[in-house]
Structure 1
Amino acid sequence: MREIIKKIKNRKLVIGVIGLGYVGLPLSILFAKKKFKIIGFDIDKKKIKSLCNQRSYIERISKSDIKILSKSSSFTSNFGLISKCDVIIITVPTPLTKNQLPDLHYVKSCLKQIFPFIKKNQTIILESTSYPGTTRELIGNKLKSKFHIGKELFVGFSSERIDPGLNEDKIHLVPKVVSGYSDKCLKIVSEIYRSIFNSVVKSESLEVAEFSKLLENVYRSVNIGFINEMKMIADKMQLDIFEIIKVSSTKPFGFRTFHPGPGIGGHCIPIDPMYLYWKSKQLNYNAEFIKLSKETNFKVLNFVVKKINKLQKKIKIPSKKIKILILGMSYKKNLDDIRESSSIKLIKKLLNLNFRYVDYSDPHISKTNINSINYKKKSINLTIKNLKKYHITLLMTDHDKFNYKKIYQYSNTIIDCRGKFKVGDKVIRA
């Protein structure tokens, strides 16, 4: 253990990062900036090719950062190179099945591929979000058949706290939660992350650290679900929820502002809470808040569809002919990220309801291809001519790059899901 800690302090460790996506790539860059050698692994050969050519495939990660990473790194789909690594950090996706159950096949496949190449004195850390017990049950139980964990091999879990579009280049400023399979594992995992993060928070167990990550995201899911429900109640009363929030937020204690929207997107809010919900069901406990918030956050999309239908009837244009322009395809403002995008879900609903003219505009996403509904479109330029030709302009994602003054002036009718416009003759809140 002392030898490993010495290598950490001398920057002599080789860090292997498996999964070079929204978590793995910023983490690799941070290690590279701190003078560690990186081997990046990914089964997506397009990502490997891009990195080898010093190109970024995530809009908000700059080419200059990729160049810094490339100086001390290599990128590969060959998992045999795991044997060259001192530390192996797993940042693969943890999605849900069609039945909304935890889908850990990426984690399991990763372990199967790297298992033959794991050797003594390596440290394996899971950063992928999952239910409490995953690290111990999936990783620990598999590895202890071959190694004495805590003496020959070290295992830990550390939750990622990346806020997409806001802190990819500042993740070292966010306190880093760490945990270990044993005390020695915790010591080593702590030293690894202390070398790149300003603050490290030690958890007393793997399970506490895993639960804490889910708690952070369930907290957001429940509060977003709550404010979305308040929006629908306010609408029944013909009140503007954004004006209500503005007044409520003047209270300096006991209130934290959450904003409603047309649904939830990304990985954290739609997916992560269901991992805890599933785990609680295994313990014969029904987590009602988690279930209700998820249902509410999906129900709000039907609320948006009803607004479209109501407006369509008012202007007396059949669904086959009415032209709709969706502003924002990404799940969150100022991102090129469409994971669990509410806009995509809305487009699917509209096409199933026989709407035929549904276009979109997004300054961060030039093309969209939804194979399941044969939707292949390019982003529409927001010219005066284009804005005038759509019967409904629907604001789904409030990108800063949108010219809201121009959109207001030249759109026929706006359905605003983000509170950017004042409700009036041509603006409807949804």
Structure 2
Amino acid sequence: MTQLDSLLKKIEDQSYTIGIVGLGYVGLPLMWTFHQQGMPVLGFDIDDKKVQNLKNGIPYIKHLGTEMMETLANSDKADATTDFSRLDEADAILMCVPTPLDHHREPDMSYVEQTTETVSKYLRKGQLVILESTTWPGTTEELMIPILEKNSGLKAGKDFYVAYSPEREDPGNPDFNTARIPKVVGGHGEEALKLATAMYDTAIVQTVPVSDCKTAEAVKLTENIFRSVNIALVNELKVVYEAMDIDVHEVIDAAATKPFGFMKFTPGPGLGGHCIPIDPFYLTWKAREFEKHTRFIELAGEVNTDMPRYVVERTMHALNTHKKAMNGSKILVIGLAYKPDVDDMRESPTFKIFDLLKKNGAEVFYYDPYLPSIPKNRDFAEWTGTTSVEWNKATISSFDATIISTNHSNINYAELAEWSECVVDTRNAMNGLVAKNENHIFKA
């Protein structure tokens, strides 16, 4: 029996141990998905608090709930650790680590590089290493494999296997969890693709094999560039139609009744989340190597990046109608998370709105039922520890203006309409509510 046949047999027998590096919004649901299908799972993270919470069944990502955590904590087929020397216990190592941009808006591959270095120290024959992080086409074979081979003395495709399969998580989406989202897979060679596909087939509704790793990497970028460009389009239309006194949301809703040739996207205060604000720039960066310019992608980035400034300008206009200046005004921003009904604040445009309001002299406060206080974060450290205000009439009515940045579904917008004298709505959350007067609700 060949090495590959032996590994495929382990997958079939459900004795194939899956190691997952990074127990965040991608890694934790992935761990749960494999565990639900009876596969042994071993999670790794440098954050001891996450590991201890997982071992004790304590939720640390709210929308994932308590059942998942309690089940993993009490299972003899699941474990978590900060001890990376245990990587050799895993048959497959799935890397789910951040790939942010640096301060120059260029790819920061430090997490991938550091994790690959760590994996290489404990790499053994027969292991499958898969990168799930979003990145530029070529990362797996140009960056990862050389590190793995040099430090281990093993040969990719002969001694161990390498593949790429991009995460497609949509935190808080009740219709699609990890198990129900088709998985694109690209392998470094036919055997790696066959092994990775067989592994994902045990837990995912459908695998979509592609010709190689860089094709799979390009698939993920294309998905998010598509969203970025279309969101930029409706954001630009919002600004234009506002000047014409046309409600962009009414236009989009009516256009969406066309049964072909139109896909609905909605404008907002800017882009958030770990993917859409970042991923397009990974392709822009890589394209320079081939002397190609991504003008369309860069223009979309400019439009989306400028939206927080537009929101603040609209807030200034709203305050002016009440004969107030922004300088010295108390302003409440509703929604710190980048999307409704989650506690995920990665790349949230709300922070940029905070900064712009503060630079213009406003006192800034926020309300978010999912984030009672702002946790430690890399990009907006100055706001760490700031706490959410209370939701009551006395508090909400004390602000000069309220900006709706995220439209959580558990917020009582009728109460907001009653309590706040000036609302700047970036999400169309106040649609259908009766305004007190013409200077009450402003769309932005």
Q: TM-score, normalised by structure 2?
A: 0.93
Q: Give 2:368's aligned residue.
A: 362
Residue 298 (structure 2) pairs with residue 285 (structure 1): no
- Matched with 2:387 is 378
Contact kept, 8 Å, 1:158 with 1:177, in 2: the verdict is yes
Tell me if structure 2 keeps the 8 A contact 1:54–1:67.
Answer: yes
**Once the 2 structures are TM-superposed, how far is the Cα of residue 67 of structure 1 from its aligned partner?**
2.1
1:274 to 2:281 alignment: yes
**Does residue 304 of structure 1 match 2:307?**
no
Report the counterpart of residue 233 of structure 2 in structure 1: 226
Match of 1:181 in 2: 188
Amino acid at match of 2:54: L
- Asked if structure 2 preserves the Cα contact closer than 8 Å seen for 1:348 and 1:373, the reply is no
Q: Determine the structure 1 residue equivalent to 2:423.
A: 414
Cα offset for 1:151?
Answer: 2.7
Deviation at 1:2, TM superposition (A): 0.5
Count of equivalent residues: 429
Which secondary structure does the structure 1 equivalent of 2:306 belong to? helix
Separation of aligned partners in 2, 1:186 and 1:377: 47
Q: For residue 27 of structure 1, what is the aligned residue in structure 2?
A: 30
Deviation at 1:106, TM superposition (A): 0.4
The one-letter code matched in structure 1 to 2:228 is S
What is the CA–CA distance in structure 2 between the aligned matches of 1:268 and 1:150, rounded to whole Å?
30
Over aligned residues, Cα RMSD in angstroms?
1.6
Q: Tell whether the 8 Å contact from 1:325 to 1:359 is kept in structure 2 after alignment.
A: yes
C-alpha separation between the residues in 2 aligned to 1:116 and 1:349?
45
Letter in structure 2 aligned against 1:108? E
| 1:381–1:186 CA distance, 2 compared to 1 (3 A) | same
Secondary structure of 2:410's aligned partner: coil
In the TM superposition, residue 170 of structure 1 has moved relative to its aligned partner by 2.5
Amino acid at match of 1:116: K
Which of 87, 104, 123 is the aligned partner of 1:99? 104
State whether residues 327 and 360 of structure 2, in contact with CA within 8 Å, keep that contact through their aligned partners in structure 1. no
Q: Distance in 2 between matches of 1:162 and 1:320?
A: 40
Q: Does 1:155 align with 2:162?
A: yes
Q: CA deviation at 1:318?
A: 3.7
Matched, 1:120 2:103: no
State the 1:289 CA deviation. 1.2
Conserved 8 A contact 1:90-1:128: yes
C-alpha distance in 2, partners of 1:3/1:49?
Answer: 34
1:135 aligns with 2:116: no
Q: Distance in 2 between matches of 1:169 and 1:273?
A: 23
Partners of 1:134 and 1:298 in 2: how far apart? 26
Instruction: Measure the CA separation in 1 of the matches of 2:372 and 2:88.
Output: 40
Letter in 1 for 2:373: K
CA-to-aligned-CA distance 1:91-135 (integer Å, 9 cap, x gap): 010000000000110011011112121000111011011000000
Residue identity matched to 2:45:
D
Equivalent residue for 2:223, pick from 182, 197, 216: 216
**Distance change in 2, residues 1:167/1:120 (3 Å):** farther
**Per-residue deviation, 1:85:** 1.0
Distance 2:87 2:385 in 1: 39
TM-score (norm 1): 0.96
Does residue 1:57 correspond to 2:63, yes or no? Answer: no
Letter in 2 for 1:259: T
Deviates more, 1:303-312 or 1:391-400: 303-312
The gaps in structure 2 that reach 5 residues or longer are none
Q: CA deviation at 1:147?
A: 2.0
Structure 1, unaligned runs of 5 or more: none
1:34-75 CA distance string (max 9 Å, x none): 111111111111111111211111001122111222312221
Deviations 1:286-327 (A, max 9, x none): 101110111100111111111111222332334343121111
CA distance in 2, matches of 1:286, 1:169: 35
Alignment-mate amino acid for residue 370 of structure 2: H
Q: For 1:371-427, what per-residue CA distance to the aligned partner results, in whole angstroms no more than 9, with x for missing partners?
A: 643564321222122222112111110000011111112210111101122476211
Q: Distance in 2 between matches of 1:198 and 1:360?
A: 40
What is the match of residue 81 of structure 2? 76
For residues 168 and 55 of structure 1, what CA distance do their matches in structure 2 show? 24
What are the equivalent positions in structure 2 for 1:331-342 lying under 5 Å apart?
331-342=338-349
In 1: Cα distance, 2:42 partner to 2:256 partner: 47
Deviates more, 1:189-198 or 1:403-412: 403-412
Q: State the alpha-carbon separation in 1 of the partners of residues 127 and 394 from structure 2.
A: 61
Residue 365 of structure 1: CA displacement? 0.7
Please state how far the C-alpha of 1:263 moved relative to its aligned partner.
0.4
Q: Do the aligned partners of 1:392 and 1:415 also contact (CA within 8 Å) in 2?
A: yes
Corresponding position of 1:428: 442
Separation of aligned partners in 1, 2:358 and 2:224: 31
Between the aligned partners of 1:254 and 1:320, the Cα distance in structure 2 is: 46
Residue identity in the other structure for 2:12:
K
Q: Which letter does structure 2 place at the counterpart of 1:89?
A: L
Aligned partner (choices 69, 87, 90) of residue 66 of structure 1: 69
1:395 aligns with 2:397: no
